[in-house]
Chains A and B, each alone.
Chain A
């Protein structure tokens, strides 16, 4: 199954499980293992919690790009004007968790939105 999927919800913790379910469906259709699926679901919860901790966001979206066993998750929140990435993010416990769950972790700003990008390679350490 090729192609990108993006789902947008209100920026509220109650919607995060919907993002998890959508992600699990995409990964299942691409023959990811239960271990990988569960890991990336945990990663989505952790990443979403980081984004939702910023005040002022109205929407939270998850983009999933899967190709040849690599999956890129892009979580975006439109909370503008806040400190993002969080100070010293690479030294936080959350970073440790995210980088154990995905092969690459990037916090950045894109067009004013706060973005957290996670890349997981099927052949990678997970």
Chain B
């Protein structure tokens, strides 16, 4: 009985593989074949999207991202290769979902417990700066939040892995053009003296360049910068680290 069922399933799989192959043969001349391929594999996209559920992104968004991955897979699949379309599509869709998390939220390895602690630390660091007029110590944060010092240190490190700008309210997230233009010119002029770094500095987003300038050229503290730009101190720290890492990558060791 079991053998029979297996055989049936195998036949069905083979039939589907056959049908997929036919559709791919027609795809160049028949736009409907492309749509049909996407439609027929939408179940796979939805299944993979659900595997990424519960990580802070709505399932509908994940299905959307997975669908984009599926469309990419259909457009890029090379029929002459010795690989099944479903295998290729799975890799492409999972890649798309992972990229989505990298771009929009936490790196996947950060556990939820730590994410929550990190958001508390992020918020309270800014609050306490306003109250104390200086950045708090870890002991003070621990006292305030009820988290242990170890948890806070872990959370600080985890915040470096948080890539979403949603750490802060979106409206605070960008400087208005009128705020940046004047300062940014000064920043560019000063930073132009590093011939090897200058072209890469020019490619940075104006806000990141401005933050870099305030910290490393004007000598302002991270908390002061956070206050002025309207983002959290942890976010300033993360932007500085990420920007420096990108510059190092672009310029090599002598930068």
Task: Return the chain A residue nearest B249 by Cβ.
Answer: A49
Q: At the interface, yes or no: A108 with Cβ under 8 Å from chain B?
A: no
A34 engages B135 (CB within 8 Å): yes
A33–B138 CA distance with the chains assembled, in angstroms? 7
B240 engages A42 (CB within 8 Å): yes
A126–B219 CA distance with the chains assembled, in angstroms? 8
A46–B255 CA distance with the chains assembled, in angstroms? 11
Q: At the interface, yes or no: A70 with Cβ under 8 Å from chain B?
A: no
Chain A, interface residues (CB within 8 Å), range: 20 to 34
B197 engages A86 (CB within 8 Å): no
**How many residues of B are counted as interface, with CB atoms below 8 angstroms from the partner's CB atoms?**
39
**Given the known A-B contacts A35-B222, A35-B233, A97-B244, are A28 and B139 also in contact in the complex, defined by CB atoms under 8 Å?**
yes
**Given the known A-B contacts A42-B244, A46-B244, A100-B219, are A94 and B136 also in contact in the complex, defined by CB atoms under 8 Å?**
no
Instruction: Write out, one digit per residue, whether chain A residues 27-49 have a CB within 8 A of any chain B CB (1) or not (0).
Output: 01101111111110110011001
A97–B255 CA distance with the chains assembled, in angstroms? 11
Task: Return the chain B residue nearest A88 by Cβ.
Answer: B254
A49 engages B153 (CB within 8 Å): no
B245 engages A45 (CB within 8 Å): yes
Q: At the interface, yes or no: A54 with Cβ under 8 Å from chain B?
A: yes
Instruction: Write out, one digit per residue, whether chain A residues 84-116 have a CB within 8 A of any chain B CB (1) or not (0).
Output: 001000001110110011000000000000000
A28 engages B241 (CB within 8 Å): no
Task: Return the chain B residue nearest A98 by Cβ.
Answer: B216
Q: At the interface, yes or no: A50 with Cβ under 8 Å from chain B?
A: yes
A5 CB to nearest chain B CB (Å): 15
A66–B227 CA distance with the chains assembled, in angstroms? 29
A11–B223 CA distance with the chains assembled, in angstroms? 33
**Given the known A-B contacts A34-B136, A45-B244, are A93 and B156 also in contact in the complex, defined by CB atoms under 8 Å?**
no
Q: Which residues of B contact A29 (CB under 8 A)?
A: 149
Tally of A-B Cβ pairs under 8 angstroms: 92
Q: What DSSP secondary structure best describes chain A's contact surface?
A: helix
From B153, B197, B240, A24 is in contact (CB under 8 Å) with B153
Q: At the interface, yes or no: B170 with Cβ under 8 Å from chain A?
A: no
Within B130-151, which residues are at the interface with A (CB < 8 Å)?
134-139, 141, 149-150
A50 engages B253 (CB within 8 Å): yes
**Given the known A-B contacts A28-B137, A93-B197, are A34 and B216 also in contact in the complex, defined by CB atoms under 8 Å?**
no
A38 engages B156 (CB within 8 Å): yes
B134 CB to nearest chain A CB (Å): 6
Q: Which residues of B contact A32 (CB under 8 A)?
A: 137-138
Q: At the interface, yes or no: A20 with Cβ under 8 Å from chain B?
A: yes
Q: At the interface, yes or no: B125 with Cβ under 8 Å from chain A?
A: yes
A125 engages B219 (CB within 8 Å): yes
Could you give 8 example pairs across A and B, Cβ below 8 Å? A28-B153, A31-B138, A33-B135, A34-B136, A34-B141, A38-B156, A38-B234, A96-B216
Given A31-B138, A35-B135; 10 other pairs, CB 8 A cutoff: A28-B137, A34-B125, A34-B135, A34-B136, A34-B137, A53-B253, A53-B254, A100-B217, A100-B219, A126-B221
A-side residues, CB < 8 A to B, are 17, 20-21, 24-25, 28-29, 31-39, 41-42, 45-46, 49-50, 53-54, 86, 92-94, 96-97, 100-101, 125-126
> Lowest 9 CB-CB distances: which A-B pairs, in order?
A53-B253, A28-B138, A35-B135, A33-B135, A38-B237, A100-B216, A93-B194, A93-B197, A34-B135
